[in-house]
Amino acid sequence: MTQVSPQKHFDILIIGSGAAGLTLALRTADFARVAVLSKGELSQGATFYAQGGIAAVLDDEDSVDAHVSDTLTAGVGLCHPDVVERIVEHSAESVSWLVDQGVPFTTIDGSDPRTGSLHLTKEGGHSHRRIIHATDATGKAVFETLKARALAHSNIELLEGYTAVDLITQPTAEGADRCVGAYVLNQATEAVEVIRCKFVALATGGASKAYLYTSNPDGASGDGIAMAWRAGCSVANMEFNQFHPTCLYHPHAKSFLITEALRGEGGTLELPDGTRFMPQFDEREELAPRDIVARAIDHEMKRLGCDCVYLNITHKPAAFVREHFPTIAERCLEFGIDITKDRIPVVPAAHYTCGGVVVNERGMTDLTNLYAIGETSFTGLHGANRMASNSLLECFVVAFAAADDIAARFDRTTLESALPAWDASRVVDSDDEILVSHNWDELRRCMWDFVGIVRNDERLQRARRRIDLLQEEIIDYYQRHRVTNDLLELRNLVLVSSLIIDSALQRKESRGLHFTLDYPEMVTEPTDTLLRP
């Protein structure tokens, strides 16, 4: 017998509570009832942990053309120039909006950001100081500010402890499908509920949890990408997984990121014996794009057989270090590392998914009324390698555009009166959860070993065979058991891992974040890797 699922309804359902999701909520809540869904606490998205900042053209010595040029260079021939130009042109507008919201950005003289001059720092790939930041905890400052605004808005409902299961689609009169809602797991009641809405936005972040070592929080399991694919949306450039060069290497640190801004302020990378090595790999040294720095570290670790390399900023005054990097200094001190006196042990870790769900300039996917924003999406901005601090910028600019598009379509879009209930009549509670945890570990180790920083076809084919077997096991298990948060994340991760491998096998060259020993050169006319269901 089919169970009756509880049904909620809103005008807009936003799945994900980071910068992109909260921005879209705030930009639409004046004319729509909005629900923001979060798997755990609202702060468990990647935004909260972002240390660096937001790239924007605010300095008289900088220019839109220079920012665009830097982005195109970092993207190694795969950025879409029109997209880069549009997003960079709106960078100052985004920062101005955030200042108006009350984000406590760092200023030159410590004054109020609304009246003072914002302090700008520099990160890898940038030719000018253009990174707006709140000390070394920008993401937290942005999140806390937007969260407070959302909590205060009567038209926004924040739903914590809800995991999206799948999107619900229905055919239109013209024959195309449109998104009309989603099935969501209420973790408190363990029941799958139905949410009806006019519009759905996927703002679930990336899929770096597919890898054994990652800087991302536990929820980065590619949920939005997987749900969109199952609903019929295209994805692109999934082979470009950015590995942040410098995560704290410590058994109890759980992938704590060491911001690139530390290198921007003079930090150097060293081997265990104190020798610098980046000058051998790139003339930009420590401020080379992340793919180059990550590969250099990976190369030196394998060459020497060492567990990590070291990031050194001890040559800077202690007061300067503590003032600019208070979060890092405090966190490292918890592990007995005084960054004013000691070098920081670091390793690369999976950090950012440059590919994602294909969207247009307004953030809409192939599916009518379904949007994807932030790291979940593929806009064409990042190309083969995301430049530092462009990701938060993309969140705001595309969320603004999506909000404008929703506003324009709002009155002529109808809300369905009822949707099919979730059918749990043929499933049972699991009596063997070890399968989920075992396959989770095997999946992530397989991806790290065979689909990591340096690849070849043999490794990719080995990963392909193993992931296919895992996917069969996981889908069979999913079909026979009641859903849990862990099972849903595993189901999404194995699908996204499969998409990453398929994309990597299609690219017969080395470019940006995709480096393969079998095809070390770049082709002369690169194209995006587009996958369709």
232-282: per-residue pLDDT in tens? 999 999 999 999 899 999 888 877 889 888 998 999 999 999 999 999 999
> For this structure, is 409 an active site residue?
no
Report DSSP state, residue 119. Answer: P
DSSP secondary structure, 491-506, as one string:
HHHHHHHHHHHHHHHH
Given 86, 178, 290, 455, the catalytic residue? 290
Cβ atoms within 10 Å of 442's Cβ, excluding its own? 15
**pLDDT (tens digit, 9 = 90+) per residue, 365-394?**
999 999 999 999 999 999 999 998 999 999
CA distance 316 to 8: 55
Digit-by-digit pLDDT tens for the chain (533 residues) are 334 567 899 999 999 999 999 999 999 999 999 999 999 887 777 676 676 799 999 999 999 999 999 999 999 999 999 999 999 999 999 999 999 999 999 999 888 888 889 999 888 789 999 999 998 788 899 999 999 999 999 999 999 999 999 999 998 877 789 999 999 999 999 999 999 999 999 999 999 999 988 888 888 999 999 999 999 999 999 999 999 899 999 888 877 889 888 998 999 999 999 999 999 999 999 988 888 899 999 889 889 989 899 999 999 999 999 999 999 999 999 999 999 999 999 999 999 999 999 999 999 999 999 999 999 999 999 999 999 899 999 999 999 999 999 999 999 999 988 899 998 888 888 766 788 889 999 999 999 889 999 999 999 999 999 999 999 999 999 999 999 999 999 999 999 999 999 999 999 999 999 999 999 999 999 999 999 99
Write out the two tokens for 25: 């909520």
Cβ-in-10-Å burial (0-12, 13-18, 19+) of 404 comes to: middle
For Cα atoms 64, 406, 58, give the angle at the middle one, nearest 5 degrees. 20
Token pair 């809602």 is found at 181
Structural domains of the chain, with CATH:
1-240+354-412 (3.50.50.60), 241-351 (3.90.700.10), 434-524 (1.20.58.100)
Contacts of 408 (CB under 8 A, 6+ apart): none
